[in-house]
Amino acid sequence: TMGSHNVNTGQLLVDGAMYDITISAMDLAGNGATATATGVTYDATPALVSISSPPAGGSTNTATVSYTLSEPITAGVIVFTRTNGSADSSSPHVYTLLAADRTATNHTIVTGLPLVHGAVYTLTIQGATDAAWNVSATATNVNVVYDIQSVSISNVTPLSRSVLNSATAGFSLSEQAASGTVTFTRTSGAVDPGSPHTYTMITSDLTATLHVVNTSLTLVDGAFYSLSVAATDLAGNPATTVSHGNVYFDSAFDPSLPGNVNNSGSSANIVDDADVAKLTSVLGTMPGDTDWNPACDLDRNNVIDTRDLILLMAHYGETAQ
């Protein structure tokens, strides 16, 4: 009949093959006509859509989405739907893919969607339709946490002006971290050509709790260090680095034997004349003085004076247990 027609020929074409389509017709007066469309690809397979970031069960601090399309598409949307955590009255959030977002390649799209801190979302790419009107299966990543609050670092030890006999550090993390470091940087005292010394936290150091870690870093006796603890959470938010200065390293320091400030040779395990001589040699010194030795500041008042000598003499002759 005269007019427009849409005919399913029922032919078994091959997916991915290219065809020329020819339509021939003859009118009632016997006049023939032919029309041909060339280079038509038969496509019965939808585009494959996969989301690489943010991952299912992961955290993010932006509404940025990375995904891959196996072939170009003509339409599609990115959707964040709140499922748990903080309330989000604007959910679901929808971003419509632009022409540049629909090509057959890897994409990273800054959607700019106004997600809510602490909310948990299901991330989907829906309605991906190719040029042959094939609609892709929805790509889905569940339990994506939106987190824009940095991990907090507290309870960092050793404190400023402490004496340390091993490269041990303590710290607390307010939430699970993805990475972190402990760094000792020489600031004065004995020369340390290896400074700064950095320890990279391992998995057991990154949990949300109090940690005491022996970093096994090789510090130098008689050097003063600044201790810094840094961390980044699972969403990529960096913590405010916490630092303590004027940490003195003395590998022979024994806090259980007050007055044993010499800790070398025959005097290593006893409070004796060698300790008296060492303390006397730095009498009157304070932090900042070239020969300041905090191990001799027995009463921790930032000056080595007769009170420290009296404390030493009170333990004269004592030995390490």
Residue of 96, 90, 91 whose CA lies nearest to 109: 96
pLDDT for position 232? 97
Question: Backbone dihedral region of 309: left (phi > 0), alpha (psi from -120 to 50 degrees) or beta?
Answer: alpha
- Length of the chain in terms of residues written: 321
Per-residue pLDDT of the chain (321 residues; tens, 9 = 90+): 999 999 999 899 999 899 999 999 999 999 999 999 999 999 999 999 999 999 999 999 999 999 999 999 999 999 999 999 999 999 999 999 999 999 999 999 999 999 999 999 999 999 999 999 999 999 999 999 999 999 999 999 998 878 888 999 999 999 999 999 999 999 988 899 999 999 999 999 999 999 999 999 999 988 999 999 999 999 999 999 999 998 989 887 777 777 888 777 666 788 888 889 988 998 999 888 888 888 888 888 889 998 888 888 888 888 876
pLDDT at 258: 76
pLDDT at 301: 83
Is 173 exposed, middle or buried (CB count within 10 Å of its CB: 0-12, 13-18, 19+)?
A: buried
Element (H, E) at 277: helix 273-280
pTM for this structure?
0.71
Tokens of 278: 């060492």
* Per-residue tokens: 125: 């790419």
Rounded Cα distance between 171 and 157, Å, is 7
Contacts for 224 with CB less than 8 Å, ≥ 6 apart = 186, 187, 188, 189, 245, 246, 247, 248, 249
pLDDT at 30: 93
What 3-state class would DSSP assign to 204?
helix
Let me know: does 21 contact 37? Beta carbons within 8 Å. Answer: yes
**Could you tell me the two tokens for 137?**
């299966």
The torsion angles phi and psi of 196, rounded to 5 degrees, stand at -80, 155
| Residues 47-52: contacts with CB under 8 Å, at least 24 apart | 47/71, 47/72, 47/73, 47/104, 47/128, 47/130, 47/134, 47/136, 48/136, 49/76, 49/125, 49/128, 49/136, 49/137, 49/139, 50/139, 51/123, 51/125, 51/139, 51/140, 51/141, 52/106
Say if strands 49-53 and 18-26 run parallel, antiparallel, or are unpaired.
unpaired
Joined tokens for residue 118:
């602490």
The answer for 61, left when phi > 0, alpha when psi is -120 to 50, beta otherwise, is alpha
pLDDT at 110: 97
Residue 236 Cα distances to 147, 187, 241, 281, 302, angstroms? 9, 30, 14, 51, 40
